[in-house]
Chains A and B, each alone.
Chain A
């Protein structure tokens, strides 16, 4: 058996097990060690992604695949996970008993996500998804003494379990009507029977419904604002980045590979999900007063745009989705890093949008960075966030889906309003209330700076290399 292609997963799994022991025996004292060791493991796993074995093709009898697509997904996932650990390190500094286990859970979640992006069978898909989800449920309720966090965890778990059930039901239908769990076999069955088979069609619908929950696409988005609000900020940042990327990529592979021949069937579903997510994400964000809830709607909105690329399909569409997610995680992590700076003198975290009033005068640097992320999330040029939006619309136009592109882009105008509102509060309003505590982790400051630089107009220099990378990654699933 050749284990080289799953080296990154092996590194993370073994590392996670060892660190769990460390955490168990050292308790709170082990938190520093666990955090930095986890970051090192993740970076080590990233380092292995460039190698030849990562393009080995089908593994374990077609259960998993190692191709450019999975390597690209893992790259983003591991980096996001590392950022989430660094963020949490600071967050948990204040007397928290289980700080050492947190990075372990992130590592396990990362392993689950690796499996998700490289699954080519419905069973591995499910296993990966559950490994990721179970870690996520625990992470959401990580501050168990905090009511909101506990509520978030419970809500996430109950609804997540329901979604898993739906997904599993879809999988079992597909298995029953195709006789195989392999993506190839499912695709062959769709080619043979088409969507005339009611069993296949139902399987497809349930499978996609389960996935829509994981990427929090409308109408399966209800958990998102509550969970994002209740979970600790670094965990929210993690949820909004890595698992989202993994689930979207999984969706891309399932739709274009397993369900490829049934494109007409899922295209309608995904078109609806895309537009509904864009519009609901934009409209529901209007009344929000909590910045984390607002960013939750923003993530729903953004997933909608990514789905437009998926609806377009083909290598260009897939590549635009990858590009979109890559830039999206930078913007969203940057925004959450800024949110984490919203902290009173007493160390309490503040989440109300009103507290940002006049931030440009009290903390010009922070306000400037957050403004860059907001304009970028809104997709206003010359910020780099404009480019991935352009790419998904371009993919749609190339496929002749002009009505979809027009509808989607009108959604950006509606969405622009609430991003502008944050800028308005920071820049136009007079400072009110007490200013945030100064100072902060230097590493986090460096990350905010780096991410802001990436989404600034300088990011356009990345179009070439990143475009080539996503193009190659997308090409490997066709």
Chain B
């Protein structure tokens, strides 16, 4: 299939298409804007499918490369590897669902809403495709504007505070990264990301650069203790805003680590492993416990996001195949699952207009379809084998364990706590008796809602049962990344050694040891 799209600037088209649609939508009626947005996102998704089919996992590292110098040292340089490809697919997959989720729940200022979402899509695709450092920054920061508007205009009661917090927190994190980027450009003499990924910075300089990048990605991720903007933003944002925030925007942090911090500053990354692991460990335990105590559904899922993202940082800084692949799968899986969970919250919020968990209960009786799908996503979030969550978390834990047993133990606690808060949530909403009359009167999922949730459920199961589809495109790229960081790889405290095969007649005496490997 490869080469089908040679000569077509497919990545630029993926950026331009939603932009053009955004401009059209702004001048349309509410319904016109809805359809424009839906059609634009579906066409983008179709292009995304073509992109995936055309991507050659065994081909060169960077594919679909475009390069036009703009002047002043910045270029319109685009190109993707397998890692970027998967995150682009995630974005393109979630966007039509977001539009669908807003179809009825957004009633005021629809054209502007749709335009903001389409702009958001263009900028997110730009982040994952940019191959120029400054271009990346422009897309990365540009996403703040539409999200600020989405939270601020269509959000809940506390929306203004949440929108400021979101904007200023993320901006403060990112500006230091900009200075670090300028230092890198000045030192290495290039703005090209592929070239910088191969450039060896002086380890003492790396230290500072790593910290500056960390400030940005840790906020975006978000990592404990700079996660506090997230619950506010999630709770206040409209449903689709939460979906895109949890589904894609948080992934930019992980993408940043995998694209910049690890390959560009391997020594510094290795040096900071304990730091990252301590923060991630605290995040897993503390935010899980906080999630356990929430009465607000969206807040609970928001805190669970912070805990899940800690698995990403655990896996990424493990410096091994399992860890990094696991981190990527956790990112993809969390993108789907948390998005779906926010949609599930949105479904009942649209009916009862409250996010208070105690106002529900026993929904399995009157909303069986809803209860089933919600169960699937709850299980995926818990990490039940057969769902996407299991694959990612398991790999990530295997990788983490190789570096530090303690980190592995702490991270595993997170899985247990995760099961606790998710099952507790599910129990309180779907099981028990229908005590509230208004909750009992809620109708089950309609066709539109089924269309939103069913595809995600299918993707979650697909990723859980046959993760190879998702690992294949990125395997070569993760291999390249590992080669790059090999020189700084930590020794780790789990030294696996091959057992000594004993002669057959004595085997029964030694089997337990040999089999453990």
Where the two chains meet, the residues of A that have a C-beta atom closer than 8 Å to any C-beta of B are 360-361, 375, 380-382, 386-387, 390-391, 393-394, 397-398, 402, 405-406, 409-410, 412-413, 416-417, 420, 423-424, 427-428, 460-461, 463-465, 467-468
Contacts and interface: CB of A to CB of B under 8 A. Distances in A.
Interface string B112-144: 100000000001000000000010011101101
Interface in B63-95: 70-72, 74
A380 B171 contact: yes
B152 A427 contact: yes
Contacts of A375: 145
Interface in B155-189: 159-160, 163-164, 167-168, 171-172, 175-176, 178-179, 182-183, 185-186
Given A382-B139, A424-B164, A460-B70, 8 more contacts: A382-B141, A390-B178, A393-B179, A397-B179, A410-B175, A420-B164, A420-B167, A424-B152
The 5 closest A-B pairs by CB, nearest first: A464-B71, A463-B72, A381-B138, A382-B142, A397-B182
B394 interface: no
Contacts of B145: 375, 380, 382
Interface in B440-482: none
Interface string B173-210: 00110110011011000000000000000000000000
Nearest to A421: B164
B109 interface: yes
B138 A427 contact: no
A398 B184 CA distance: 10
A423 B141 CA distance: 17
Contacts of B163: 424, 428
A397 B171 contact: no
B489 to A, nearest CB: 30
A461 B70 contact: yes
B44 to A, nearest CB: 19
A317 to B, nearest CB: 14
Contacts of B139: 381-382
Contacts of B159: 428
Nearest to A375: B145
Given A361-B109, A416-B167, A461-B70, A402 B183 contact: yes
Contacts of B141: 380-382, 386
17 contacts: A382-B138, A382-B142, A390-B134, A393-B179, A394-B182, A397-B186, A409-B175, A409-B178, A412-B171, A413-B172, A413-B175, A416-B171, A424-B163, A427-B149, A428-B153, A460-B70, A464-B72
A406 B178 CA distance: 9
Contacts of B168: 413, 416-417, 420
A402 B71 CA distance: 24
B319 interface: no
B148 interface: yes
A416 B145 CA distance: 12
B182 A428 contact: no
A463 B171 CA distance: 24
Contacts of A464: 70-72
Contacts of A394: 182, 185-186
Contacts of A420: 148, 164, 167-168
Given A402-B183, A427-B153, A428-B153, A393 B72 contact: no
A428 B175 CA distance: 26
B171 A413 contact: yes
A461 B71 CA distance: 8
Given A361-B109, A397-B182, A406-B176, A381 B137 contact: yes
Nearest to B139: A382
A420 B74 CA distance: 27
Given A382-B123, A428-B153, A463 B70 contact: yes
A468 B164 CA distance: 38
B190 to A, nearest CB: 14
Contacts of A409: 175-176, 178-179
Contacts of B152: 424, 427-428
Contacts of B185: 394
B71 A467 contact: yes
Contact of A398 (B71, B123, B142, B186): B186
Nearest to B19: A457
Nearest to B149: A427
A330 B285 CA distance: 51
B182 to A, nearest CB: 4
A390 B132 CA distance: 15
Contacts of B142: 380-382
A417 B164 contact: yes
Nearest to B177: A409
A387 B72 contact: yes
Interface string B380-416: 0000000000000000000000000000000000000
Nearest to B122: A382
Contacts of A460: 70, 74
Interface string B276-318: 0000000000000000000000000000000000000000000
A29 B123 CA distance: 53
Q: Which of A394, A460, A464 has the most CB of B within 10 A?
A: A394
Looking at A386, A387, A428, the one whose CB has the most chain B CB atoms below 10 A away is A428
Contacts of A410: 172, 175
B135 to A, nearest CB: 9
B178 A463 contact: no
Interface in B29-76: 70-72, 74
Contacts of A405: 179, 182
B418 to A, nearest CB: 34
